[in-house]
A and B are shown apart, each in its own frame.
Chain A
Amino acid sequence: GAGVSQTPSNKVTEKGKYVELRCDPISGHTALYWYRQSLGQGPEFLIYFQGTGAADDSGLPNDRFFAVRPEGSVSTLKIQRTERGDSAVYLCASNHGLAGDTQYFGPGTRLTVL
Chain B
Amino acid sequence: AQSVTQLDSQVPVFEEAPVELRCNYSSSVSVYLFWYVQYPNQGLQLLLKYLSGSTLVKGINGFEAEFNKSQTSFHLRKPSVHISDTAEYFCAVSDKNSGGSNYKLTFGKGTLLTVNP
Contacts and interface: CB of A to CB of B under 8 A. Distances in A.
B102 A40 contact: no
A55 B102 contact: yes
Contacts of A4: 43
Nearest to B42: A107
B70 interface: no
Interface residues of A, number: 30
Given A56-B100, A105-B44, A106-B43, A45 B105 contact: yes
A99 B30 CA distance: 12
Contacts of A107: 42-43
Given A50-B101, A91-B43, A42 B49 contact: no
A88 to B, nearest CB: 14
Given A100-B49, A100-B51, A107-B42, A43 B102 contact: no
The 6 closest A-B pairs by CB, nearest first: A42-B107, A105-B44, A100-B51, A107-B43, A45-B104, A105-B43
Interface of B: 4, 32, 34, 36, 42-46, 49, 51, 90, 92, 94, 96, 98, 100-110
Given A35-B107, A99-B32, A103-B105, 12 more contacts: A35-B105, A41-B109, A42-B108, A45-B106, A55-B100, A56-B104, A99-B98, A100-B103, A101-B103, A102-B46, A103-B46, A104-B46
Interface of A: 3-4, 31, 33, 35, 40-45, 48, 50, 55-56, 59, 91, 93, 97-108
